[in-house]
Structure 1
Amino acid sequence: MGLFKVFVKKTIGGGKCLLYNISHGKNVEFGTHFKYVNKHGRMSIGDNVIFSSFTYIFNVRPSGYVEIGSNVRIGHHLQISCANHVHICSNVNIGPFVFLTDHNHNFENPDVPIKDQGISVKSGANLVIGEGSWLGTKVTVVGDVHIGKHCVIGANAVVTKDIPDYSVAVGIPARVVRQFDFLTGEWKKV
């Protein structure tokens, strides 16, 4: 298992860290206490990405692939746990204390502690945060979930199902409360 810790504030040019299988574009800023724990998975980061302090990214399986587009801003205390594929598209804004995971813990056997039962991952699971979307403070996204482009996910929401493009979703579990109407040019209640 590799552990990548960054204590620098900024990297200027693009590059690749072969030891931890990370490729990144230009102008990537790592806040203090950035950690990447990697079980031989990979991560790619586009240009102009800001990771605020205390970002933790875990690739928990060799097939894990964390993909982050360009012009992404990530608030402090983001946690990503990836077994298959977590994709944050370009121009996404993520608030503080957000948790993203494409898998869940097994809990079927009541005689075995949950921590010892492993994880379950849907075959081909992809957690996707669409282009230009915004995740508010303390949002949690779990499983094979696609959040569409230009979506707003309200603070404290728990997303377990797909959210269509141009939607506002809130609550636990998250539900769509508004969608953009291109005919009127307004956000309409759903």
Structure 2
Amino acid sequence: MKLHGPNPNALYPNEQIKSICYIKNAITRDNIIVGDYTYYDDIHGAEKFEEHVTHHYEFIGDKLIIGKFCAIAKGIEFVMNGANHRMSSVTTYPFNIMAHGWEQAVPDLKDLPIKGDTVIGNDVWIGQNVTVMPGVHIGNGAVIAANSTVVKDIPAYSIAGGNPCKVIRQRFDDEMIEYLEALKWWDWDAEKIFNNLEVLCSSDLTRIKEIK
């Protein structure tokens, strides 16, 4: 059988580099969904990706959804909705988790600022030490600069950075972004991707439009 790239079901795509793992093969939680070929790079344990998804409780029901072919650098933290405290009351202090009688002050979920699922598109590059806050959506092909805190949605094929994270510029013009969004190359089969690696990695953007 002819190979067309690494096995998407392997924990380590390159057995010689144990600092990179395919995330979907390392997760155990049903509320984290990750696409093929998306990797986490961390010399201190790439396979421990779930430790970087914090305050993620099943009873809240939110999901972390990450697309295909994403590159996520070390130090990532996805802060999920369980980190939120109620803000409509006099105090934001979480008495209930301290027990010893204070558990009677359990907040109603409707009083918490639940912001829904956190969704990362396909072909997203996230730099080192980035924090993604609850409910954020990052579009396909976006790039998030190192040390950023992402507090609101980032459009597809944008370069964004800072704290709070803001769009710096688009990677391509509107026409090319629309074309790539429709092309969805990340959904091609492994053979088609393999046969078009040169074009996918070329800075000559006219070539991508020649692929049938």
TM-score range, shorter chain: 0.5 to 0.7
Query: Once the two structures are aligned, what percentage of the paired residues are identical?
Result: 25
Is the contact between residue 105 and residue 115 of structure 1 (CA under 8 Å) also seen in structure 2? no
Residue 122 of structure 1, aligned match among 103, 114, 123: 114
Residue-pair matches, total? 139
Q: Could you say if the C-alpha distance between residues 114 and 157 of structure 1 is closer, same or farther in structure 2, counting changes exceeding 3 Å? A: farther
- Match of 2:69, SS? coil
- When normalised by structure 1's length, the TM-score is 0.60
Q: Distance in 2 between matches of 1:111 and 1:102?
A: 18
Deviations 1:47-76, CA, capped at 9 Å, x for gaps: x9525xxx8x795xxxx6100100011022
2:32 aligned partner, one-letter code: V
Offset at 1:29? 3.3
Pick 1 or 2: higher relative contact order, CA cutoff 8 A, min separation 6.
Answer: 2
CA RMSD of aligned residues (A): 3.6
Distance 1:131 1:147 in 2: 9
Q: Which runs of 5+ in 1 are unaligned?
A: 1-12, 14-24, 32-47
Larger Rg computed on CA atoms: 2
Give the superposition deviation at 1:27.
1.4
Shift in Å, 1:122 = 1.9
| Pairing partner for 1:148 from 99, 114, 139 | 139
- Name the CA shift for 1:146/1:184 in 2 (closer, same or farther; >3 Å): closer
Alpha-carbon distance in 1 for matches of 2:163, 2:65: 22
Q: Secondary structure of 1:163's partner? A: coil
- For residue 148 of structure 2, the aligned residue among 151, 157, 166 is 157
**Amino acid paired to 2:173:** D
Local SS of the residue matching 2:12:
strand
- Matches of 1:75 and 1:147 in 2, distance apart? 19
CA–CA distance in structure 2, aligned partners of residues 177 and 111 of structure 1 = 36
1:97 alignment partner in structure 2: 75
3-state SS of 1:29 partner: coil
Q: Which amino acid aligns with 1:128?
A: V
DSSP-derived class of the 2:128 partner: coil
Q: How does 1:48-67 map to 2 (within 5 A)?
A: 50-51=22-23, 65-67=31-33
1:27 is matched by which residue type in structure 2?
A
Q: Map 1:1-190 onto structure 2 (within 5 A).
A: 26-29=9-12, 50-51=22-23, 65-76=31-42, 78=49, 79-81=52-54, 82-83=56-57, 84-103=62-81, 104-106=83-85, 108=87, 109=91, 112=94, 116=98, 120=112, 122=114, 125-179=116-170, 180-183=172-175
Answer yes or no: is the 8 Å Cα contact 2:68–2:122 preserved in 1. yes
Structure 2 alignment gaps of length 5 or more: 1-6, 99-105, 178-202, 204-212
Q: What secondary structure, in the 3-state scheme, does the structure 1 residue paired with 2:78 have?
A: strand
1:86–1:101 CA contact under 8 A, matched in 2: no
Instruction: Give per-residue Cα distances to partners, 1:72-129, cap 9 Å, x unaligned.
Output: 1102264013341001100000000100133133164256569657784626x11111
Query: Which structure carries more helix by proportion?
Result: 2
